Amino acid sequence: MARDLMKWSQLPSISSMQEEMNRMFDRFFRGGELSEIGTAGTWLPPIDLSETADKITVKAEIPGMDPKEIDISIQGDTLIIKGEKKEEKEEKGKNYYRMERRYGSFSRSVDLPTSVDTNKITAECKNGVLEVTMQKKEEVKPKQISVKVG
């Protein structure tokens, strides 16, 4: 049997394997993203968290959900998004060969990188994506200081 040798540059780097292992352990020990792997009937909407000088934005994918069925709250520096994706009624005489869509209640807690003004939070749902925009508190916004030349 002949074995082909691979050049070192074609092998996966140790750091990329380490990063993947770290992500796997984070998912396991945090529990937050386990239901992506997880049990039947549970799910978590994937999120994006971004920050600018003035605001923090969280986007969550919630396809097929009525935005009125979503509860959004702030506790300290944590954004909490809760809801329930209801399963469609099963039609008589229909045989399912595959069911991959997830249903049931969910709760996502997102630690915010800084404090936000709870009076200046907006939420909008468009094309199955919930976007929560939070204005930062004045004391945490970066302040520009000019230097005078003498």
Running DSSP on this structure, what letter comes out for residue 25?
H
Task: Tell which wins on pLDDT, 104 or 117.
Answer: 117
In the chain, the percentage of residues whose pLDDT exceeds 70 is 70
pLDDT at residue number 36? 42
Q: What pLDDT, in 10s, does the model give residues 7-63?
A: 555 555 666 777 777 777 776 666 544 434 434 446 789 999 999 989 999 999 998
Q: How far apart are the first and last CA of the chain?
A: 80
- Which CATH topology does 43-87+103-141 take? Immunoglobulin-like (2.60.40)
Angle (CA) 111-66-32 rounded to 5° is 30
Report domain extents, the chain. Answer: 13-41, 43-87+103-141
User: Given pLDDT bands bounded at 50, 70 and 90, which one contains residue 102?
Assistant: confident
Task: Tell which wins on pLDDT, 24 or 131.
Answer: 131
Stretch 62-70: mean pLDDT, rounded? 88
Among the listed ranges 51-55, 64-68, 108-112, which one has the minimum average pLDDT value?
A: 64-68
pLDDT at residue number 123? 96
* Average model confidence (pLDDT) across the chain: 79
Cβ atoms within 10 Å, residue 130: 21
pLDDT at residue number 38? 38
Residue pair 86/106 in contact by the 8 Å Cβ criterion: no
User: Given pLDDT bands bounded at 50, 70 and 90, which one contains residue 105?
Assistant: confident
